[in-house]
Homo-oligomer: A and B are copies of this chain.
Amino acid sequence: MTRVSLKSKIMEKNDRLAEVNRAKFKDEGILCINMIGSPGSGKTTLLEAAFRQINDKYNCAVIEGDVKTDNDMRRIEKAGVRALQIQTDGSCHLNAGQIGNMLSRLPISSIDLLIIENVGNLICPVSYDLGEEYRMIVVSVTEGEDKPLKYPSAFMSADMTIITKIDLAPYVDVGPEKLIANALSINPNLKIVSTSAKTGEGMDRFLKLLMNPEGVFDAKRSG
């Protein structure tokens, strides 16, 4: 067995299990979003800020992926939302089988929105379909404007990109405008919102997108 065929087998198995997950999400009317971003890009903080606003209106749940610790799960629970933790113990991404196993531990018939916060990594999680309906790339303005160009697969595979920490833009030599332009040069169909969980800027637009990903959305113009 060659390396390539082994990799193909792993990916085939993942894709098969992803379809099982996707069918389950569809049957149960669950909106599932796979969140991918670098370590420290602000994924959990963004969710905490979002849940504070929508917690009483929707049944939300989060599956957290981390190499180690259940810090993020505990943060989400503190924000009043049910969360489960997958500790990958060295592995650099979540796979569809892990998500399938977690679904049996969730009251899925009552869930409206399921967020999967992937392992902090802008490369490896991109190859693994988890059965999500939408894929979201989270990138902070402090990471620099060239990230879409340097990690194009992530942005190509995504439906939406959330730029975080824009309150820090004045202190770094990076404007969100260039980051947005670079992301759109990789994937013109991306819906993009710039946010600051700290000041609240852009959070309304983020929530609008989260609640209605296919809705009319002029993020390209107003960033």
Closest Cβ neighbor of A151 among chain B residues: B67
Q: Is the CB of B39 within 8 A of A122?
A: yes
Q: How far is the CA of A221 from the CA of B87 in the complex (A)?
A: 33
What residues of chain B lie closer than 8 Å to A38, measured between beta carbons? 38-40, 120, 143
Q: Tell me how many chains of this kind the complex includes.
A: 2
Q: How far is the CA of A153 from the CA of B120 in the complex (A)?
A: 14
A residues 23-48 with Cβ under 8 Å of B? Answer: 38-40
Q: Is the CB of B69 within 8 A of A142?
A: no
Q: Mark A131-166, 1 if CB is under 8 A from B, else 0.
A: 000000001101110110111110000000000010
Interface: A178 (CB within 8 A): no
Closest Cβ neighbor of A127 among chain B residues: B90
Q: Is the CB of B90 within 8 A of A150?
A: no
What residues of chain B lie closer than 8 Å to A66, measured between beta carbons? 150
A residues 96-130 with Cβ under 8 Å of B? Answer: 119-124
Q: Is the CB of A68 within 8 A of B171?
A: no
Knowing that A38-B120, A40-B144, A67-B123 are A-B contacts, what are 6 other residue pairs whose CB atoms are under 8 Å apart, sorted by A's residue number?
A: A3-B10, A39-B122, A39-B143, A69-B150, A92-B92, A142-B165
Chain A residues packing against B (C-beta within 8 Å): 1, 3, 6, 10, 38-40, 66-69, 71, 90, 92, 119-124, 139-140, 142-144, 146-147, 149-153, 165, 167-168, 171-172
